[in-house]
Amino acid sequence: MQPSTNLAEFLRAARARVQPQDVGLGSGGTIARRVPGLRRDEVALLAGMSVDYYTRMEQGRIKHASDAIVNGLCKALLLNATERSYLFSLFSPATGRQPQPVRATKVRPIVRQMLDQMENTAAFVLGVGMEVLAMNDLAKKLMPDFTAETGLARSLARWTFLAPEARTYYREWDVVAADMTAILRRDSSRHPNDRALNELIGELTVKSEAFQQWWPQHMVYECSFGTKKLAHPLVGPIDIEYETFPVPEDPDQQLFIYMAKKGSPSDDALRILDTWDSESALAFTPHER
C-alpha cells in the first residue's frame, strides 16, 4: 500500500475517533452529524490550516508537510505518542523517521543467556511482525514453541488470529487480537517494504474476519505493560503481569517478561508448569495446520 493511501486512511480513521466535545467544540446540540467524530473543517480549524489543504491531505494528494503542520494535526486529533510517531513516518523523510531497511532476526547470545537464567518467569523476544526470535523454557511451556517453526509460522500474531486454540487460550481474545493488529500497523509503518510482513498482513486480511475489521481502523499504540488473562490447557487459568523492554542496539526487538503476582494462584500455576518437562507440557500447535 502506498504511503499516501496509508496517510489518507489514517487521518480519516483518527478523525472519526475524536468527538467534538473532546476538543471543546461542543456536541452540536440537536443537529444530527453526518459523520462520526470530527468534520474536515473542524480538524482544519483545530490544526491551524485551511479546509482545502486538509482535504487534499486526507485525499492523499499532499505527501510532504512541515513539522508545524504535522504537530498541529497531532494536537487536533488527540494522538498519543505512538500515533504521533506513526503520523510523522507517513510524511516526507524531512519530517518523518526513516523506516528501518532490514529487520533484525537474530538475538544476541547474552540476551539468550539472560532469558535462560530467569526463574519462574516466562520470557521471549519478538521482532518485526511479532516474530518470536527467542524463548526460555518456561515460555515454551506456557505458550507454543514458535522457535521450532520457520517463516510466518513463527509469528505470535499469526497464531493468535488463525489457530482455533488461541481463542480459548486468551480469555480476552478480542482485546489481545486488537492490540496485535495495532502492533502490526506500527511495524508496517517502519518496514513498508518488508516482504514477510506484507505477506503476513495479506494472509490475515484474507483468512481472519476480525483482522479485516480492525486493520482499516489504523489503531497504533505500544503494548508495553499490562495483564493478560490466559487459560492454559494443562494448569488452567493464569493471570499474567507483563512488561516489555527494548533490546539495546536492536530497535526492532522487544523483550517480553511474563510473571504472576507472588503468592497468587497464578504464581502457583506457573511454578507447577515450570517443574514439568517440555514434552509433558507440550499442549499447543504453533500455527494453523
Domain borders along the chain are 3-90, 109-281
pLDDT at 270: 94
How many Cα atoms sit within 13 Å of 239 on the Cβ side? 7
Q: Judge whether 3-90 and 109-281 match in fold.
A: no
- Name the CATH architecture for the domain at 3-90: Orthogonal Bundle (1.10)
Distance (Å) of CA 250 to CA 107, 128, 195, 246: 9, 11, 19, 8
How many Cα atoms sit within 13 Å of 7 on the Cβ side? 25
pLDDT at 8: 87
CA–CA dist 57, 193 (Å, integer) = 23
pLDDT at 148: 92
Residue bearing cell 512488561: 243
CA–CA dist 168, 159 (Å, integer) = 12
Taking the alpha carbons of 144, 208, 80, 260 in that order, is the dihedral positive or negative?
negative
CA–CA dist 15, 58 (Å, integer) = 10
Copy the grid coordinates of residue 131.
Answer: 516474530
Ranges of the chain with pLDDT below 50: 1, 29-30, 93-101, 288-289
pLDDT at 243: 95
pLDDT at 26: 67
| Residue 146 CB neighbour total at 10 angstroms | 26
**Phi/psi at 61 (nearest 5 deg)?**
-95, -5
Nearest to 150 by CA among 133, 136, 165: 133
**Phi/psi at 147 (nearest 5 deg)?**
-70, -15
Residues 6+ apart with CB under 8 A from 237: 171, 229, 230, 231, 265, 266, 269
Residues in the chain: 289
Q: Which fold has domain 109-281?
A: Beta-Lactamase (3.30.450)
Copy the grid coordinates of residue 141.
Answer: 511451556
Nearest to 104 by CA among 182, 196, 13, 179: 196
